[in-house]
Amino acid sequence: MSETRAGGAVDVAPDNPARPAFEPIRASDIQLAQAHISAVIAPTPLQYCPRLSQQTGTEVYLKREDLQDVRSYKIRGAYYSVSQLSAEERAAGIVAASAGNHAQGVAYACRTMGIKGKIFVPSQTPKQKRDRIMVHGGDMVELVVTGSNFDEAAAAARADAAERGATVVEPFDARNTVIGQGTVAAEILSQLTALGKALDTVLVPVGGAGLLSGVTSYLADMAPRTAIVGVEPRGAASLQAAIVNDGPVTLESVDPFVDGASVKRTGELNFQIVEHNLGRLHIMDVSEGAVCTEMLELYQNEGIIAEPAGALSVTALQEMNLTPGSVVVCIVSGGNNDVLRYAEIMERSLVHRGLKHYFLVNFPQEPGQLRHFLNDILGPDDDITYFEYLKRNNRETGTAMVGLELGRASDLDPLLDRMEDSKIDCRHLKPGTPEYDYLVSASI
């Protein structure tokens, strides 16, 4: 298990305002919320996963929040928060900001309760999520696309609410939202009890930490011996940054790929709950490429269409040392994934596994050079997946961009050796460099 750390290479800007007084959320608060929303929100399945159980030597269960009506757990906190508004607050209308899933929960609540809502989402929000927001909200909601990330959309939402006197329904940093999300943990314990099982470890995806703080609050009272693992995307590890800096800080940049968890700043209330429970918590991160690999595994083996944030918990299993035979639950938090993203998902997975590589190849302008590249440089299991002749630099050479998929990751070093021995000049492009990002985007 990786140590808690400040989100890899992502820079942070110090930002530590005075903290408000902390009032713990109790299991009884969550139980009341569960009773309140149970007439509208049905429990989701807790499914045993043979594949992951065999891989880890444990009993792995998947909490299928991707099977909610809005395809994510966010409906719990959104619906409970809206249901607790006063008549005056409802009449003033609702404003919400979201990367997509919270917005669907708010839209669902607006339509079912007859409340007007205005929802702000960043431009990175997949079209599938935008379309579902309007399906759930109908003519009761207005959708505004603004900003390049969640935090910019949230700032626009709060400004709009202040101008119109509307009520903001927060996606994670609000007491009722956290209480609503905590009902996931209440269901897990109830379902395991019905199976005669006790929960040893639960893995929870982390963006703003609303779900983690709700689950932690419930288990602290009802299952204090349970280990809780919070899993962040490596490119947006805002909770780890907050722990290192003794309070929430604003990351200067995030990788937007895991859109449901790409949050620059963890919530204040959420951090306070985490801070008060650090003895039972482990916070770790996983790479976006590893997330893509597990998304494909879930789809191909279990038939689960998980969005990137929904696969965070399962991805972390591969990096943990778990007690053999222990009972482990992974929360699959959402399934709002746009099918148009699968080309990128495949690409990121292949790169992560060391199977996909890109090269700038300077071919001498002599007969037979491409045949030499194919026959003498490429291995028997190497496949050209992308080839674009970029330009003729001069009369002696011409440059091409070549994408190769290897049969095995271990085939790379022999390939590089053959390139080194050849008179064809080959430059290996490395992920994360501007040249790689610019050129590879054309091949997806």
Q: How many CA atoms lie within 13 A of 367 on its CB side?
A: 0
pLDDT of 286-338, one tens digit each?
A: 999 999 999 999 999 999 999 999 999 999 998 999 999 999 999 999 999 88
Q: Which run of H or of E encompasses 388?
A: strand 383-391
- The CA radius of gyration of the chain, in Å to the nearest whole number, is 24
Identify the pLDDT of residue 19.
64
pLDDT of 216-229, one tens digit each?
A: 999 999 999 999 99
Range(s) of the chain covered by CATH 3.30.70.260: 354-441
Q: Which CATH architecture has domain 22-72+177-326?
A: 3-Layer(aba) Sandwich (3.40)
**pLDDT confidence tier of residue 3, bands split at 50, 70 and 90:** very low
Tell me the CATH class for 354-441.
alpha beta
Q: Could you tell me how many residues make up the chain?
A: 444
User: SS3 of 238, please?
Assistant: helix
Range(s) of the chain covered by CATH 3.40.50.1100: 22-72+177-326, 75-172
**pLDDT confidence tier of residue 120, bands split at 50, 70 and 90:** very high
pLDDT, mean of residues 252-272: 93
pLDDT of 54-75, one tens digit each?
A: 999 999 999 999 999 999 999 9
Question: Are residues 254 and 264 in contact, defined by beta-carbon separation less than 8 angstroms?
Answer: yes
pLDDT of 157-175, one tens digit each?
A: 999 999 999 999 999 999 9
Candidates 3.40.470.10, 3.40.190.10, 3.40.50.1100, 3.90.78.10; correct CATH number of 75-172?
3.40.50.1100
pTM of the model: 0.89
Mean pLDDT of the chain: 91
**pLDDT confidence tier of residue 12, bands split at 50, 70 and 90:** low
DSSP code for 61: E
Identify the pLDDT of residue 127.
86
